[in-house]
Structure 1
Amino acid sequence: MHEHDKLTIEAVKKVGPSVVSIVISKYLPKIKSGYTLPFSSAPLFGNSESDDKEKVKIGGGSGFIVHPDGLILTNKHVVFDQEAEYVAVTSEGDEYPAKVVSRDPIYDIAVLKIDAKDLPAVKLGNSGKIELGQTVIAIGNALGMFTNTVSKGIISGLSRTISASLGSGGELEHLRGVLQTDVAINQGNSGGPLIDLDGEAIGINTAIIFGAQNIGFSIPINWAKKDLEDIIKYGRIIKPYLGLLYVMLNKKLQKTYSLPIDHGALVVRDHDPKSIAIVPDSPADKAGIKENDIVVELDGEILDEHTDLSDMLQKFGVGDTIQMTVLRKEERLKLKAKIEERK
């Protein structure tokens, strides 16, 4: 056996007991009668009685234990339905009702809690030290059926930007800075760990591109570390909040819309008819930011395609005062905002 294979096997043995399957169930109206298609148990049509409901398994995902007292990391899109019930199933087959402690308001991260002690917890690595071509391993509940399925590949891209679906309602979440990998990732092993050969979690498997082979994405584990620190300390995930919608400018947008500069965050509402560019009484509103302003700098650091306003904001804490350089038509303004907690 090659030494490289031994490292893979040891890493899987170390992490495997910490990986859980997440079963998603919901109470749905019970079908009273109806016709079914041949070889199918699904009713073609029928009557449902709203008062007569049954518990139905509607999906599955993966997660991994990150604290011996029962804290579990997974994707927000796995536990996005607030009306559903969740059960964590360990590699030993033990089942625990799982409570969603917090859903990250920005990233595709959620933290669950089960009532158990002395559980095997995954050691969290440092996603800031990941290199292109590095060997990585994904462990999860493949297709919602095959528990602790192991896939191996490499890191094929760093700091990618994708849009991922949060649930069946069509909600989309835009994720920046994610890891691209050729490891086989599917809907079932979303939320499972992406580990290195030392058996440390360096990412959370989150998305695939349908119709494309060997293209998957993972959330860097460093993003989740801050969430876990907040939950242990405050009981919730705390994120800074400014209260504005924007689009990051580039040379193409400058040319298309005849803008004065090719960088910065243009404060503008989105395509939703009910959308507003600045939330009333938000830190941005109190600071005097107006729609169509361009936020050029945040605390002296220039904002561009590679330095996003939202990413920069995460460096500050609730209660911090930040200085923004704003371009309003031909006038450059210096505005101050006191950061609040995102609710």
Structure 2
Amino acid sequence: MEQNNTYRKIIHVDMDAFYASVEQLDNPALKGKPIAVGGGGERGVVSAASYEARKFGVRSAMSGVIARKKCPQLIFVKPRFERYKEISKKIRSIFYEYTDLVEPLSLDEAYLDVTENKKGIPSASLLAKEIRKRILDELHLNASAGISSSKFIAKIASDINKPNGQKTIPPEEIISFLEELPIKKFFGIGKVTAARMYNLGIFKGSDLKAKSETFLTQHFKSSGLHYYNIVRGIHNSKVKPNRERKSVAAEQTFNTNLTSEIFMMEKLKQISEELEERLQKAKVSGKTVTLKIKYSDFKTQTRSKTLPYFIKEKAILLDTVKELLYQEKVLNSVRLLGISVSNLNIHLKNKPEKPLNIQFKFEF
């Protein structure tokens, strides 16, 4: 890999089927059974599925109707986000006993930079094993982990031995690992991009590596340079313990599809009121307002407008969203509406990244 002898030690910890596992933990009668957190009705969507349910093909973001067809014995459980947040805080408190460089990605996963850790343990693999054991012993939940010298590789690695496992990819193995990795397994490459790559003869990392930077930027624009770098193990993003919040949002899914803009405006008024409360609670305001429309066929459309000033008041939000709603005709009946505010007034000092002054054998 085109780097010097100094590397970071990054662990990506990912809880296994977190929401579903918490429900099974709190209700032992659900253990070993296929469960889905979310709604099982005609309008319901699966937020998370237990591993027992995944065996039948049930996945998150799947409609409740389809999930029940795939697994007729599926048990639906209403989500309890306050409970998930409570458990997540306990998990993070364990992380902070090892390092202050913790970057949460969501309630159930986080990056940890353990290059210099509070326990003085040189092996990142042993640290990950100890952290996972503590989560199991203290919270009775399983976690998986990926360990490597970059966030990108650690993220991919954490998925390899799921559930309740870990995978270490040391620096000297990164290039060969990436060359053999199916392109759909690259973190950040979704189904649409993967399909485009297949059409270009790119099926695994070695195929991607064979393409020039010019070729990739021609076909994938600004993402082309990113793909060119990551397949060569070049990904220097550091763990950021204070992640900048990028947006605040609120949305509603309706029991009955909406066909009239008048009814949509009634719902958007409620959503704007909820969003105002969230903005006030977060003590932020923003310039860019985005209207999200999900149609009855599950296609999603967004319309945005950037204002010359920061806002958080529901009246201005509603006026802006009204303009966005009426700027063109809706394509179909609507099952979900959402409003988000981005381009927030959170200004963090962008300091240049300092090189690590740490020399050691990368011990795994």
> Greater helix share, 1 or 2?
2
TM-score by length of 2: 0.28
TM-score by length of 1: 0.30
> Greater strand share, 1 or 2?
1
